[in-house]
């Protein structure tokens, strides 16, 4: 089944929440549980660990702030935003 290659790759990637840094370095695992401790946690912005490691501090702050500025869970669906913002001339902004 060659139609599932992209989805297989997606599941094999190590997804992390770039909005939640660990004390010793690195990022917390992506997602939230339904426990009260996670209910107070802000909405996650998740990317593969390889991409998170390549991003600058400014890129991370920009992506997380754009994600959290949108209304979350509208219509029962997660809200997606681009990881890298576009410049006004249409090119991707990578600081």
Spatial contact of 18 and 64, defined as CB atoms under 8 Å apart: yes
Number of domains in the chain: 1
Looking at residue 91, what is its pLDDT? 60
- Distance between CA atoms of residues 73 and 45, nearest Å: 13
Residue 40 located in a structural domain: yes
Chunk the chain into consecutive blocks of 10 residues (it has 95) and report each block's average pLDDT, rounded to whole numbers: 76 91 87 68 87 94 90 82 79 58
Q: Quick one: which of 70, 76, 58 has its CA closest to 18?
A: 58
Nearest to 15 by CA among 29, 3, 32, 34: 29
Return the pLDDT at 56.
94
pLDDT of residue 48: 94
Residue-range definition of the domain harbouring residue 54: 2-71
Q: Is residue 77 part of a domain?
A: no
pLDDT at 72: 81
- What pLDDT, on a 0 to 100 scale, did the predictor assign at position 30? 87
């Amino acid at each position: 089944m060659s139609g599932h290659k992209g989805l297989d790759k997606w599941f094999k990637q190590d997804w992390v929440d770039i909005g939640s840094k660990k004390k010793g370095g690195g990022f917390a695992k992506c997602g939230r549980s339904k426990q009260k401790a996670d209910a107070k946690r802000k909405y996650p912005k998740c990317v593969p660990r390889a991409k998170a490691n390549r991003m600058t501090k400014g890129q991370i702050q920009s992506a997380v702030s754009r994600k959290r500025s949108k209304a979350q869970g509208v219509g029962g669906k997660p809200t997606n935003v681009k990881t890298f913002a576009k410049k006004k001339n249409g090119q991707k902004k990578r600081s």
